[in-house]
Structure 1
Amino acid sequence: MVNTYETLFLLDATKLSADGDAVRTQVHHLIERHGGQISIAREWNYNQKLTYPIAKQKKGAFHIVYYTLESTKQAELERDFALAEGVILRSMTLKLDPKWQETILGIARDEHGKEFAVKGMQDEAQVQTDPSALGAEPAAGVDGPPGDGARGPRGRRPEFADKGD
């Protein structure tokens, strides 16, 4: 069965800055060697400072590739990604759900697709930290998390304040 995949690569930024075309060609060649057909390939973030060093590198460049490939060949391709450690620091591959495939590829083709995706993630993070961002009101009579009732003397809940004293 032929599936569509999305792979996000973290590439060595120093090698990419020295000869970017050769590095991208090497990554694309790995996919094509296994019978994959690349539909979209683009830089995601160039020369990003990493949170922690990976293979003694403090900076990396993200490159995203969408391709179709026979599902039985994906494991071999992943192994080749891992073996290309001189260029590929890390990779993450997702199989696109067929019902969302055209929508995702449409956004990826768009020059503003990256900004659209980042804005969506920021909006989602806003909602998770502040439910009122969606206009949600807290339920009536609920002041805090479950079990966080008012405390009586000595920090005990009122129903336990007189027992055991």
Structure 2
Amino acid sequence: MTGIAAVLLLALAIWGGSQFTDKEQPPVQTTVVQEPTNAAPSQPPQIEAPTQTQAFPPAEQPAQPTTPTSAVLNEVLPTVPEKIQNKIQGRVYVTVRVLVDNNGKVIAVLMENEGPSKYFARLSDQAARQWQFIPADTEDSRVWLLRFQYTRDGVAVRTIEQ
């Protein structure tokens, strides 16, 4: 068995075990937007942009790249040529499961959901391999889900620790 096959087998085993042991889903981080208190009643309310978000933007807003979470040191978003990006209709979702060593380096990538296009699956795979996470205090490997969302307006990603 080659080294890569062994790592993928280990990643699959960890993933499979987490499916039976995880009873609760990780919390989704939300951002609360408040109206300014000093606005005059005749003025329309002003909304401040959130500084950090993990959830996908609502349908009426263009997708914006999220800022890295505190556990992510280097977040790489796929680069989609404008010609191809303009042909996207709706949203394309690709989910990648990554195995991260105790140093924070991605050591294995498993395509969880490649979506309707092998092209976007390949872009997501290449980007996921370049991610860097904070080092762990233990020798154990960690598993993360990276859910890429492609729209005409750009690429966004949601990270979920498993």
Please tell me the TM-score bracket, short chain as reference: under 0.3
TM (norm. structure 1) is: 0.22
Greater strand proportion: 1
TM (norm. structure 2) is: 0.22
Q: Between Structure 1 and Structure 2, whose CA radius of gyration is higher?
A: 1
